[in-house]
Structure 1
């Protein structure tokens, strides 16, 4: 298995559909968040992104996809490149057929949005329909088709398709060289990817540096140097960080207790887990969970 799949699965990241349909009038979308990834797929017509990231409003056309990470600059989507409404009072939501433009909008909540994992990705990612390779346009077409037909269970189908969109977006960033440091960049090194895959697949395992080196076919000095240069951690330091990121996402699940999370992350006691978690997130697990509720 590659290193990316268990990373996505380990964090249990899923898209939540916020809106799928048409818009009319002097419409405005304000979807800024410090904790969520937001994505917008233009399924019909045109829209414009107003952001200090670009010197002029950015035009998005049918089939274009844009992704905003929590560290993106404050931004708005609107009907016009010249006019940005003060609020969404004049926005009229319609079905797909009646809209002057139409969008699929969703979010993916991140338990640790300020972690180096996400900060290493571009704050904004724009993928044009005609420049997205092979797989991504096909998936985009499926989303647009499902949006326009609205059959039984369409929202659920669209959400699952958007899960795939998010993975392909990360793959796109990796393959296009949009990430030059961090875990996603390290995945481009086959031997580093082997070590990362082992850590991502089995974070509860008591990995040693010798064991990781033997499995990845690298010396301890080379593996340690590569991890430090690209990820900013030693291999064992990254293992600890990865365990705690998984723990943060598990703590968001209503049926998971702190005790269960500590055990699943490979900690022998709750106090040891709480100490490590507080060191990583500046608050104990219980307070972190209450803050997210």
Structure 2
């Protein structure tokens, strides 16, 4: 598997459907989050994005896609370009046929939303239907068709189809030159992709620079310089960060103990693991597992 596939797989980046249907009235969508990626797929009519980062509202039409990462500015979707309701009191949720506008909305939760991994991506990503490309356009059409059909199990089918949106959006951003640094750019380099693939696939291994260089066919100097330039951290620093992201996911699994997570991440002791985890998250593994935290620390 390539480095991006391993990253998505190991971080368990799964889409959760939040809404599928129509809206009428003076409607407003407020899906701001500092923990998740939110996506909005327009299936019918027109809508406008109001963002503090933009001078004027941006119109979305049938087939357009908008994603907002945790570091996006405050934003809203509404029925009008010149009126932004104070709240969603006048929003009327309807069927697809009855709505003035239609949406498929969902989120992808992130274990470490402040990580440099995500910060390197644009905070707001808007892909018009004409820009989507053949594969993403067909995926969007399939999602809309399945959502509108409201058949047995449609919700589950739509969620799994939406899992692919994030990968295709990252690909779109790279191909359009919207990402200039970070792990996703480093993955475009064959040798760095090999190093990242090793880290992502076996983060518990006691990797050394020498071993990584040997496996990737690259010198220590080139690896250290290119990796740091593109990723913004040394290979070992990134490895520790990756282990913590994986640990954050494992800690939420039913029946998983802190001791087991520490072992799976390659730590010989729970105190050593807990110290590394708290350095990354600002809270202990136990607090994170209970969900009583806000991830305010950048990796």
Give the shorter-chain TM-score range. Answer: over 0.9
Unmatched tracts of structure 2, length 5 or more: 294-299
Give the corresponding residue for 1:196: 196
- Looking at structure 2, the residues matched to 248 and 210 of structure 1 have their Cα atoms a distance apart, in angstroms, of 28
Assess if the C-alpha contact under 8 Å between 1:11 and 1:245 holds in 2: yes
Partner of 1:162: 162
Q: Which deviates the most, 213-222 or 246-255?
A: 246-255
SS of the residue 2:22 aligns to: strand
- 1:69 — aligned with what? 69
Give CA deviations for 1:86-110 in whole Å, capped at 9, x if unaligned.
Answer: 1111111011111111000001111
Map 1:135-214 onto structure 2 (within 5 A). 135-214=135-214
RMSD: 1.2
TM-score by length of 2: 0.95
Q: How much does 1:130 deviate?
A: 1.1
Separation in 2, partners of 1:129, 1:257 = 45
Deviation at 1:71, TM superposition (A): 0.6
- Which residue number corresponds to residue 247 of structure 1? 247
Q: Deviations over 1:188-218 (max 9, x none)?
A: 1111111111111111122121111112111
Residue ranges of structure 1 left out of the alignment (5+ in a row): none
Determine the C-alpha separation between the residues in 2 that align with 1:237 and 1:75.
Answer: 33
Output the TM-score relative to the length of structure 1: 0.97
> 1:271: Cα distance to partner?
1.1
Question: d(CA) in 2 for partners of 1:78 and 1:30?
Answer: 9
- CA distance in 1 between partners of 2:292 and 2:116 (Å): 20
Q: CA deviation at 1:175?
A: 2.1
The C-alpha deviation readout for 1:256-288, integer Å capped at 9, x for no partner, is 221121111111111111111112222211122
Q: Distance in 2 between matches of 1:255 and 1:174?
A: 38
Please state whether the residue corresponding to 1:134 is helix, strand or coil: helix
Q: Which residue of 1 aligns with 2:22?
A: 22
The corresponding residue for 2:286 is: 286
Cα distance in 1 between the residues matched to 2:292 and 2:45: 37
